[in-house]
Amino acid sequence: MSSLLRVLRALAQVLAFAVSVVNMPVHASPDLLIDAGSGKLTGATGVDVSGNLYDVSFQDGSCLGLAIAGCIPGTTFVFGTQAAALTASQALLNSVLIDVGPEQLFDAQPELTRGCEVTLACFIATPYGFNFGFLVAVIATNHAVNANDSLNPSFSAATTTDFTDHPDVTWAIWTPRSPVTPVSEPASLPLLASAGLALIATVRRQQARGGRRIQ
């Protein structure tokens, strides 16, 4: 009987694992926004940053002029710490500034990002706070040579600094969407069924061997 209990406990662990897999959040790739006329990457929707989804838009101008949250008095930055802005900027490099086709080389050709005209690198700023009156931001550098991509955690400027005059710098304007919600994974359902059938078969074998039925 003790061996049967051990088997049942093991199968219970398998079932628990299967349930956790079924309820595991599914992180879909963001949808890239591409201007039909110029072919420029203008932003993306559904960017996953630490389990939450955001839309992002690349725009020239000043933080104040673009009314970016945090630059306007009475508002707060979407990412209010350097660590959070670093995570968001890394998400840009990992999932937005990517090559998706022969004419959409948004990683290999930084000039294809809106606000950037320089072929060597595009610097994308995510603001997160102030330091001694100056706006501070994380710069995600999308370099034409992928190995040279980097993050600068302490870029500073005035809220009125206009990136329109800087052909290699643009703002990342973030908008929160919603938390990532668990999505059932259909491929995991057979695992649950198989585990259940294995449990039934094991119990029946133990009953046949021991000549006893579990009530």
The pLDDT of residue 173 is: 98
The pLDDT of residue 204 is: 62
Question: What is each CA distance from 201 to 14, 17, 122, in whole angstroms?
Answer: 15, 20, 61
Is a pLDDT exceeding 70 seen at residue 209? no
Euclidean distance between CA atoms 22 and 199, whole angstroms? 19
Model confidence band, residue 151 (pLDDT cutoffs 50, 70, 90): very high
The pLDDT of residue 28 is: 74
Of the given ranges (72-76, 81-85, 184-188, 201-205), which has the lowest mean pLDDT? 184-188
Is a pLDDT exceeding 80 seen at residue 158? yes
DSSP letter assigned to residue 96: I
The pLDDT of residue 66 is: 97
Is a pLDDT exceeding 60 seen at residue 167? yes
The pLDDT of residue 101 is: 86
Residue % of the chain over a pLDDT of 90: 67
Closest CA to 41 of 120, 95, 119, 113: 113
Is a pLDDT exceeding 70 seen at residue 24? no
The pLDDT of residue 61 is: 97
Is a pLDDT exceeding 50 seen at residue 174? yes
Q: Tell me what the pLDDT averaged over the chain comes to.
A: 83
The pLDDT of residue 85 is: 98
Residue type, 93: L
Sheet holding 31-34, edge to edge: 31-34, 41-49, 52-59, 169-179, 121-131, 134-143, 150-157
Q: What contacts 67, CB < 8 A, 6 or more positions away?
A: none
Around Cβ 161, how many Cβ atoms within 10 Å?
18
Measured at the alpha carbon of residue 139, what is the angle toward residues 35 and 126, in degrees to the nearest 5?
A: 65
The pLDDT of residue 103 is: 86
Helix (H) or strand (E) holding 191, with range, is helix 189-210
Is a pLDDT exceeding 50 seen at residue 201? yes
Output the pTM of the full model: 0.72
Is a pLDDT exceeding 60 seen at residue 48? yes
The pLDDT of residue 200 is: 56
Model confidence band, residue 184 (pLDDT cutoffs 50, 70, 90): very low
Closest CA to 185 of 28, 53, 24: 24
* Structure tokens given for 33: 């926004």
Is a pLDDT exceeding 90 seen at residue 171? yes
What mean pLDDT comes out for the span 144-172?
Answer: 96
Residue type, 209: R
